[in-house]
Amino acid sequence: MPSINKLGPPPPALNHMEAVLNTVKPQIKYFNLNGKKRPAFRLGLTQINEGVTWLGMSATALGICPKELDYKLKSYIQSHAIKRLEERLNPISILFVNFYLMISLMEPQLETLSDGRKALIISVHDIKVGYLPFDIVDHHIIFRTFLFITCNGTPESEALKDGLALSRDDISFLKLDQLNTFIESDILENSQLISVINEICPDLLNLKEFKKIFKNTKETKSSEQLVKYLCLDDQYENIFKEDNTENSVCEPMELCDCD
């Protein structure tokens, strides 16, 4: 007599998902920068079933050669620039920062900084957040640092300097050189600050969109302190509207660099 399975029929096959992981060894190249050999990592974008697409920039777009002789310059980034990206765009995850870096590189928009250097504009969710200055070494592009939108040398920092006499030391002291200041404070909620920023540097107001993304972030009330630091009383506002000169603002403080 055959035995009876008291436990019943075997269970149906469980639904499952298989994942195949591939690794690609980073391409590292050493460049002679300021008399020393420095490592840099090649920039590329991974694609499903296609491996890595290594990214570059058009030589014609950079003004190196005519269109009929155009070619791609390989793009590399130093670890210092990656560190600055992570620091100055906090609290955005470095994974998302890297993704938008690649997007910005695939459709490059360039800006000339105050010192004459060319820089790649970095945007997140179509909002400009800063710049990656670069050098061209042996037909390779080397991104050496990341400048937040207000850091020294950017068009926005020049506007703040001309409109509010804010030096790079002031910007560093007030922590206006990092995204989390605009997310974690009420700076972009203050009507006086909004009015002045809109007059001299309207791109900064776009950073308010990140407050919606990080809406659960605890907000500090620091806008009134900034208003006092900038001397934005009624008398100053009237002067600002009539004559935007350095004599109409407080003397800036001398502290540390923003690089």
- Beta bridge partner(s), residue 220: 185
Under a CB-based contact definition with an 8 Å cutoff, are residues 85 and 146 in contact?
yes
At residue 182, the pLDDT reads 94
Per-residue pLDDT of the chain (259 residues; tens, 9 = 90+): 455 455 556 666 566 777 777 788 899 999 999 889 999 999 998 877 778 899 999 999 888 889 898 999 999 999 999 999 999 999 999 999 999 999 999 989 999 999 999 999 999 999 999 999 999 999 999 999 999 999 999 999 999 999 999 999 999 999 999 999 999 999 999 999 999 999 999 999 999 999 888 887 778 888 999 999 988 865 444 444 444 444 434 333 333 344 6
Name which of 106, 9, 59, 88 is nearest 259 in CA terms. 88
How big is the chain, counted in residues? 259
Rounded-to-integer distance, Cα 254 and Cα 170, Å: 7
Residue 23 has which token pair? 């690794």
Does this model's pTM top 0.85? Answer: no
Distance (Å, whole) CA 205 – CA 208: 6
- Whether the CB-CB separation of 130 and 206 falls below 8 Å is answered with no
Q: Measure Cα distances from 151 to 84, 161, 194 in Å.
A: 11, 11, 19
Please give the pLDDT value at position 259.
Answer: 64
